[in-house]
Amino acid sequence: MPATAEYVLEASTIYPGGGEAPLSNCTVHVRDGLIAGIGASAGSQNLPRIRCSVLAPGFIDIQINGAGDGQFNDAPDTATLKRMVQGAAKGGTAHLLATYITAPGFGYRQAMEAVERAREGRLPGLLGLHLEGPFISPRRPGIHPAKAIRPLGDRDFDILLGSGDHPRLITLAPEECAPGAIERLASAGWRVFLGHSLASYELIQSRIAEGLSGATHLFNAMPPLAGREPGPVGAVLDGSLPFAGLIADGIHVHPANLALAYSCAGPDRLCLVSDAMLTLGGTATEFSIGDKRVHLRDGRLVDDQGTLGGANLAMDEAVRNMIRLTSARPQDALAMASTTPAKALGLENELGYIRPGHRASFTICDTDLKASATISDGVLLHREFDSRRDEQWAILD
């Protein structure tokens, strides 16, 4: 908790979440990391007050590999997680799933342990873990180290089924897993998404019955929609798969396909994700993934062959892109960055809305929906310096 655990946020516009219409000139009373009340005059007049323009539910990034010059695969430890939280918060991310991609052997165990330690230390902003690989298709590796891709084995289940109770998401290729594997993971609390996959539509339907609940970075590292094979894209667009992550940088997915996904799946099933690397909110302009060197060039992260290697995308930018490139209303684009990820993780009763009893996690924006401050469970993660309003933020610094 911050030094001041009770305060009031006064906002010109509040987006309550879930695509609900915005409220004007409203206040939110925060007490001990929770929302205590909302209304025209919520909270005591004697409490410290912070004035802001636009208040939205805190953004939740369920796929972020690095930020703030920290890359989770390079150093899976608490120090890296702190840098990621701080770098991502500059773009409005209040909670994140630290994402660890394909690595040799059982390297992912270090990532699991790092998240456990950081959560035990109550690192603000760290929600949980996303393992993207190594159980993916060797025919759809993307930037992942191809030599490290492999099927799930008995030892993997021993490790994965004994993990903690924090939010956990795993991306795998269903066609590379034995029947029943997804059911075992889902029963142990993992949210299972397909990704880097060539799975057929029919196979996906059978795995949905086991607990497959979404797709990672829709359109990327999966076959395109075809006349006789809907595949993963078809399973998302027709509603079979409940949720899908979407990288709305205008680079990973063509604007026409962003609009198509929005038209078919809508804001209730699409989760905006950054797929960000350490360049987000940092100073680095190149880094390595396995034996590949990735460079930041004209806003793109690419290796020497031009293969995309993650994104240099902040969540507030993804929100603005959805509004600019599709028919999404502001309240719907904001929901895709907050409410829908919360639902995908089964956390909609505590995150993703501005409601009494929910966790006090907010993304504060200017009128252009550019993030100016980020609060996670009542704790200030980041704010843009403004000499005119510096004094009011001192209560949370």
Q: Annotated active-site positions, please? A: 275
Known binding residue 143? Answer is: yes
Known binding residue 195? Answer is: no
Containing 341, the helix (H) or strand (E) segment is helix 339-344
Q: Which of 303, 313, 307, 213 is nearest to 258 (CA)?
A: 313
Known binding residue 139? Answer is: no
Known binding residue 220? Answer is: yes
Task: List beta partners, residue 64.
Answer: 98, 276
The number of beta carbons lying within 10 Å of the beta carbon of residue 306 is 8
Known binding residue 306? Answer is: no
- Give the Å distances, CA to CA, from 142 to 129, 133, 189, 271, 312: 21, 11, 27, 21, 17
In the Cβ-directed half-sphere of 78, how many Cα atoms lie within 13 Å?
9
Structure tokens at 11: 């906002």
Q: Which of 289, 265, 337 is nearest to 63 (CA)?
A: 337
Amino acid at 105: G
**Is the backbone of residue 290 left (phi > 0), alpha (psi -120 to 50) or beta?**
left
Task: List beta partners, residue 71.
Answer: 66
Known binding residue 196? Answer is: yes
CA 259 – CA 253 distance, rounded (Å) = 10
Known binding residue 310? Answer is: yes
Please compute Rg for the chain using Cα positions. Answer: 20
Task: List beta partners, residue 95.
Answer: 60
Hey, is 187 helix, strand or coil? Answer: helix
Antiparallel, parallel or unpaired: β 126-132 and 93-101 = parallel
CA 251 – CA 290 distance, rounded (Å) = 23
Q: Which of 277, 324, 269 is nearest to 65 (CA)?
A: 277
Amino acid at 93: T
CA 59 – CA 362 distance, rounded (Å) = 7
Residue 32 has φ and ψ, to the nearest 5°, of 50, 45
Known binding residue 252? Answer is: yes
Residues forming the annotated binding site? 132, 143, 196, 217, 220-221, 228, 252, 308-310
Residues forming the annotated binding site for Zn(2+)? 132, 196, 217
